[in-house]
Structure 1
Amino acid sequence: MPTKLKKRHLMDYGILIPYLILCVFGLVMVYSSTSYDQLVKGLNPMEPVIKQAAFFVISLVLIGIIYKMKTDFLKRKNLSAIAIVVMLALLIFTRFFYNHQVNGAYGWIKLPGMTIQPAEFFKIIVIWFLAVKLAARQKIINEPGIPKRLSMPLLYVFSGIIIIALMPDLGNAAIIMLIAIAMLLASGINFWYSVVVGIGGIIASVGVIKGIALLGNTLGEKINSIPFSHVFERFIVYQDPFEYLYDKGHQLVNGYYAFYNGGLFGRGLGNSIQKKGFLQFPYTDYIFAVVVEELGLIVAILVLALVFYMIVRIFLVGIRSTDPFNSLMSIGIGALFMVQVFVNLGGVLGIIPLTGVTFPFLSQGGSSLLMLSICIGFVLNISAEEKRKKYGISLGS
């Protein structure tokens, strides 16, 4: 192999190509899932897909910029600390000082022609921040208990999780919590913590879900008078959505109908029935249900296979990395993608309560696409850096 190459020759196409395919496919599905509603309202059916395409172009530019950066720049402790403090301040502002609700939550900031969701960007900031802090503490990471020098970084992360939960955005709060746990367990911490956290996490999750649902059932009609009542309703409904078919369960039930209507080969692109007023959010939470209904289970499985292939490639970059920061960064991003897919599909299929979390790269949402694309940029950069070190390559201009 040549000892001097340009950085573009070290590109990991096993990650880049699936990303591009999923984004282009996402644009097609955004148009399919939004055009009917736009036409009914007398609006331009191309408007949502044009906005999504604009975010895709911006995402490609950001990937290019991040890929050109040196990984040493990302390892600066002060830079990651400033980033998480700024994000915490933005989350506090969004929740407590910016009075803009979307579907009962305060998680969005409205700008001219668009809205941004700070909680989405907090995910990648948490991964970056923890990768820097955990990599710098490798010598003490296996000490008994949680080392004191990890207490402050974890406090920053869990403060953000609490603020996001209060928005309320339990889906993203749970995702960030699981990412933080995954990165801690991958950092070299004692093996028995993995066992305890794994068993404890399963028991706690089941307990919380059952407890909230039981409390909601006990309150009955009084539930509407308490804060975050819609969260309680989601926990109640997911257990038996058909009991609430004509009320809060209609979204979940119509999602099931979409899966049933699609069968193996689908009704054809653009021919979804459920997106025509039956599903409230066919272009975000339920985009995968529309994929199944229009293109069938076989295409849906191929899409999932492509997503998981990309996730496995990202994890392999982390596993093979010789640098602790590179390894933790890649594993954190792989965990983000894996957890987000599970939370979205788990909600749509009724395995867990519906959270409103988008499906990576397919759902409409500029903030989500930008955040996920930034993650891809980081992994591509790390992959190129590890290849350079492995083969002793120097980079030309």
Structure 2
Amino acid sequence: MAKSSKPLSHPFLFLLVLLAHSAMMLLVACSFGITPEVLKMACAVLTADFVGSIILAIVNREACTVDTVLLLVIGMSTIYQSCFGGLSFAVKHFVFGIAAFVMCQISYAVTRNPYRAERLKPLWYGMFFALVAAIFFLTGSRGIWIDLGPITIQPSEFVKPVFVLICASSVRTQLHKSEIAGIHFVPDNLMLIFCTVVIAALQWWCRDLGSLPTFVAIAGCGILLRFCYLREKISVRLMVFLGACAVMAVVFAWKLAPEYVQARLHSDIWADMSGSGYQQVKALTAIAEGGWFGKGAGNGTLIHVAASRTDIVFSTICEEWGLFTGMMTVVLVLFLPGSILTVPPRSYYHSGLAVGVAAAFIVQMALNIFGSCNVIPFTGVTIPFISQGGSSMLASGILAGFLKAAQAPVLTEKTAPKKEGR
């Protein structure tokens, strides 16, 4: 068997990260001078680069692409968040970024072996319904946040990685079919559909329909992968049934959608620039004023608009750093799921994980950026690793670990030795 092309060396990748962060810090120093805040931020980001690189070099794992891109994106995000509207080192954002890097390593270790991860599926179902129960009973009146005083937790963010684990399926699960009234079905597939319905009902109950397309994309990719199995026979009746269900779901979603959601599909932001269209008008104006290279770090005004660090963070980056930098940031985040193409998954289960993560990242970024640019209605979805928010950062780190597991899997199954007969 021919060997695959040799990946980029670890020192070379680390050098790229170091140069990128150093160049950004130089621009910050040009804008603010050599101040204590600049020195604190530079020391934190560059130290994280060195320590992370040394640890990864010692461990010497097969897949370092995801780790390197993750270090690069977290450092860039910290610099962005620290400079919006002025200079103040975003310590909390940086700490959550490091925690996300750690969560990436943990989820990588848990899912690296597809056989072990598949056996843990009952645990994933338990975590899924525990998070659903937490949203129903601990977030207050139809809310999505759990207030713990110093910090708040958004359980729906952690539903995403758990749902990706549920959507990932092995060949073995697709072979275990049951039959009722002459209809053959896979129990694992029915559970996936049931969990999707639960999520849709939960999002409607919480009035948080903005993130529903992300879950639908993950579920859709999970269902489509089940038909990619070479030995799977595609039933015409099943395809017609699934198509009819999809049409009915769209009709019911439109009928049951709250009035404010339906109104957004027909709203004109320029007709109500000080009301419902205020955020999007300001976001579009900021992108236009920033031009290709921006006003300079800390010189933006969009920071005074609500959600400038979260839901419309792309516009905030474009205003201060320029559209070119904003587009490069998008490319870097998309490179995380795209990196799986350099080392294709070698198991059916890891393919499901990789496709689910790619769907989550791509749809989230599309909703955020297109919403800020008024291409689609404003949804309030964050950009992975870039937007401010601890729950989103940690959940994104877990998803990145799934990508790493798909690049460096362990494809051995430990089985108990058989006892010899007497």
Summarize deviations over 1:107-145 as a string: whole Å, max 9, x none: 11112421111111111101101214x54433379x998
Q: Secondary structure at the match of 1:275?
A: helix
Match of 1:221 in 2: none
Match of 1:127 in 2: 164
Q: Is 1:336 aligned with 2:364?
A: no
Call closer, same or farther: CA 1:306–1:173 in 2, change over 3 Å. Answer: same
Q: Secondary structure at the match of 1:370?
A: helix
Task: Give the fraction of aligned pairs with identical amino acids, expressed as a percent.
Answer: 25
Match of 1:324 in 2: 348
Greater C-alpha Rg: 2
Q: List gaps (5 residues or longer) in structure 1.
A: 37-44, 216-226, 390-397
Match of 1:138 in 2: 174
Instruction: For 1:108, give the aligned amino acid.
Output: W
Match of 2:82 in 1: 31
Q: Is 1:235 aligned with 2:265?
A: yes
Instruction: For 2:387, give the aligned amino acid.
Output: S
> For 2:242 and 2:263, how far apart are their aligned partners in 1?
28
Equivalenced residues, count: 347
Q: Is 1:385 aligned with 2:409?
A: yes
Instruction: For 1:313, give the aligned amino acid.
Output: S
Q: Secondary structure at the match of 2:408?
A: helix
User: Would the aligned equivalents of 1:187 and 1:328 in 2 still touch at CA under 8 Å?
Assistant: no
Instruction: For 2:265, give the aligned amino acid.
Output: F
Match of 1:303 in 2: 329
Summarize deviations over 1:202-252 as a string: whole Å, max 9, x none: 9987x899x68xx9xxxxxxxxxxx95554453343xx2001112111111
Summarize deviations over 1:64-92 as a string: whole Å, max 9, x none: 33334463377455633333333333323
> For 1:27 and 1:194, how far apart are their aligned partners in 2?
47
User: Would the aligned equivalents of 2:138 and 2:146 in 1 still touch at CA under 8 Å?
Assistant: no
Match of 2:391 in 1: 367
For residues 63-74 of structure 1, what are the structure 2 equivalents within 5 Å? 63-69=104-110, 71-72=112-113
Deviation, structure 1 residue 172: 1.6
Summarize deviations over 1:139-184 as a string: whole Å, max 9, x none: 379x998825222332123212321232111122221111100121
For residues 1-397 of structure 1, what are the structure 2 equivalents within 5 Å? 8-33=59-84, 45-46=88-89, 49-69=90-110, 71-72=112-113, 75-77=116-118, 79-96=120-137, 98-99=139-140, 106-132=143-169, 135-139=171-175, 147-149=185-187, 150-188=189-227, 190=234, 230-237=260-267, 240-276=268-304, 279-314=305-340, 317=343, 320-385=344-409
> For 2:314 and 2:242, how far apart are their aligned partners in 1?
31
Instruction: For 2:321, give the aligned amino acid.
Output: L
User: Would the aligned equivalents of 1:257 and 1:274 in 2 still touch at CA under 8 Å?
Assistant: no
Instruction: For 2:315, give the aligned amino acid.
Output: A
Deviation, structure 1 residue 373: 0.5
Summarize deviations over 1:22-65 as a string: whole Å, max 9, x none: 111111222233758xxxxxxxx54xx21111212222222233
Summarize deviations over 1:244-289 as a string: whole Å, max 9, x none: 112111111111101100111110011112223xx21100011110
User: Would the aligned equivalents of 1:7 and 1:384 in 2 still touch at CA under 8 Å?
Assistant: no
Q: Secondary structure at the match of 1:166?
A: helix
Call closer, same or farther: CA 1:375–1:266 in 2, change over 3 Å. Answer: same
Deviation, structure 1 residue 355: 1.1
Deviation, structure 1 residue 18: 1.7
User: Would the aligned equivalents of 1:272 and 1:293 in 2 still touch at CA under 8 Å?
Assistant: yes
Q: Secondary structure at the match of 1:362?
A: coil
> For 1:252 and 1:383, how far apart are their aligned partners in 2?
39
TM-score for the superposition, normalised by structure 2: 0.72
> For 2:239 and 2:269, how far apart are their aligned partners in 1?
34
Q: Secondary structure at the match of 2:214?
A: helix
Stretch of structure 1 that moved more, 326-335 or 10-19: 10-19
Instruction: For 1:235, give the aligned amino acid.
Output: L
Call closer, same or farther: CA 1:152–1:302 in 2, change over 3 Å. Answer: closer
Deviation, structure 1 residue 383: 1.2
Instruction: For 1:30, give the aligned amino acid.
Output: Q
User: Would the aligned equivalents of 2:269 and 2:281 in 1 still touch at CA under 8 Å?
Assistant: yes
User: Would the aligned equivalents of 2:203 and 2:209 in 1 still touch at CA under 8 Å?
Assistant: yes
